[in-house]
Structure 1
Amino acid sequence: MKIIVISGSAHADGASTYLADRFVAGAHVAGQQVDRYNVVDHQTNFVMVAENEDPIPQDDDCAQLLTKVTQADLVVLVTPVYYYAMSSLLKTVVDRFYDINTTLKGMDKQIMMLATAYDPDEHVFDSMKINYRQLANYLGWHDAGTVWDHGALTHPAIDRYGQQAYDLGAQLKD
């Protein structure tokens, strides 16, 4: 199974990176091939659309990511929550899916979401869960699992969410 993990956090050692690391460790134990793409390490321009609704090509690093997304069996989105939504870094990448929208829609892919929030209230994810479901449904991809880590780094349960991420990776089969 080919997996692309797209991390949309600006914090190199933050809770989102921790969940991504744990997922990747589990996936490696399961013998899976994992590519990582940390958005903050690449230039990703906003999606641009012409009046006829065709995407306008961008001179940035996103083309290589979109190729990996197309080739992947599983796309894992990893993000902290900012104002009840995914980070702008990750949202910019997801918006760039529009560049290859007709290719991606209906592909037999799986998708996962690993999200962290400093806020201890689990309702901090409510709107993000709706957006995630809508994205998966729109693309026709299969939800392969989620981790919603509320209260990230503020409680000892961080290891519980890290274990959930690890288990999601470890249970993957070709």
Structure 2
Amino acid sequence: MSRILIITTSLRAKSNSDILAEQMAAGARDAGHQVECISLKGKTIGFCRGCLACQKTQKCVQNDDAAAIAEKAINADTLVFVTPIYYYEMSGQMKTLLDRLNPLYSADYRFRKVYMLSVAAEDEAFVPEKAVSGLQGWVDCFEKAGFAGSLFCGGINSPAEASGRNEEQHEAYEFGQKLQ
């Protein structure tokens, strides 16, 4: 059994990525994992200032919601980032959070596997490539962790449209069952 932390980054109400993240979480729970989901909705997360004080203290000098998320991430066995694809890239709030997780680099983090679930209006296979590459770049900075896989669900646009998409919900559930 792994402790899995799922971080959803869409700020949209009735988010399609949140709907699919719920299915993924159900699959992971049914596979016997302990799952916690965090949404960035309503969170205050400032931009990284680049001061690098966190490399000595393992804490950011800013006192906002990123600190609590970092504390949960450091203790998870597996991290899953869920993002809508905007302009062929991860959401801006996801990138801001990744930058703010800088204190984890020099910390004794527990996670070894990192995954991504992405959702977009466009459905071509290349659509998530830059988002996956961006997350891969972040994971590459953690020598004890690796990027373990991604699921892309394309062709979903309108708010809550994913709630009526049984095939994608099933894919997300199965993806959750395979998380380690």
Cα distance change on mapping 1:172 and 1:129 into 2, 3 Å? closer
CA drift at 1:34 = 1.1
Measured in 2, the distance between the counterparts of 1:99 and 1:116 equals: 28
Measured in 2, the distance between the counterparts of 1:10 and 1:86 equals: 13
Q: Are positions 1:165 and 2:172 aligned together? A: yes
Find the counterpart in structure 2 of residue 49 from structure 1: 50
Moved more, 141-150 or 113-122: 141-150
Find the counterpart in structure 1 of residue 71 from structure 2: 67
RMSD of aligned Cα (Å): 2.3
Aligned counterpart in structure 1 of residue 104 of structure 2, from 82, 100, 104 = 100
CA drift at 1:19 = 1.5
What SS does the corresponding residue of 2:141 show, helix, strand or coil? Answer: helix
Find the counterpart in structure 2 of residue 15 from structure 1: 16
Find the counterpart in structure 2 of residue 121 from structure 1: 124
Measured in 2, the distance between the counterparts of 1:91 and 1:104 equals: 22
Measured in 2, the distance between the counterparts of 1:123 and 1:169 equals: 22
CA drift at 1:68 = 0.6
Find the counterpart in structure 1 of residue 57 from structure 2: none
Measured in 2, the distance between the counterparts of 1:123 and 1:81 equals: 11
Higher strand share: 1
**Structure 2 unaligned spans of 5+:** 55-59
- TM-score, with length taken from structure 2: 0.83
Measured in 2, the distance between the counterparts of 1:88 and 1:101 equals: 21
Find the counterpart in structure 1 of residue 136 from structure 2: 133
Amino acid at match of 2:68: Q
Moved more, 72-81 or 26-35: 26-35
User: Residues 71-126 of structure 1: CA distance to partner in whole angstroms, max 9, x if unpaired?
Assistant: 00000000001111111111111111112321267x55111100001112222222
Aligned counterpart in structure 1 of residue 81 of structure 2, from 67, 70, 77 = 77
Please identify runs of 4+ aligned residues in structure 1 that moved more than 6 A: 154-157
Number of corresponding residues: 170
User: Residues 18-61 of structure 1: CA distance to partner in whole angstroms, max 9, x if unpaired?
Assistant: 121011111111121111110122111111222xx324511211
**Structure 1 unaligned spans of 5+:** none
What SS does the corresponding residue of 2:85 show, helix, strand or coil? Answer: strand
Find the counterpart in structure 2 of residue 35 from structure 1: 36
Measured in 1, the distance between the counterparts of 2:118 and 2:172 equals: 10
Amino acid at match of 1:112: Y
Aligned pairs (5 A) from 1:141-160: 141-153=145-157, 158-160=165-167
User: Residues 2-31 of structure 1: CA distance to partner in whole angstroms, max 9, x if unpaired?
Assistant: 111111001231210112101111111112
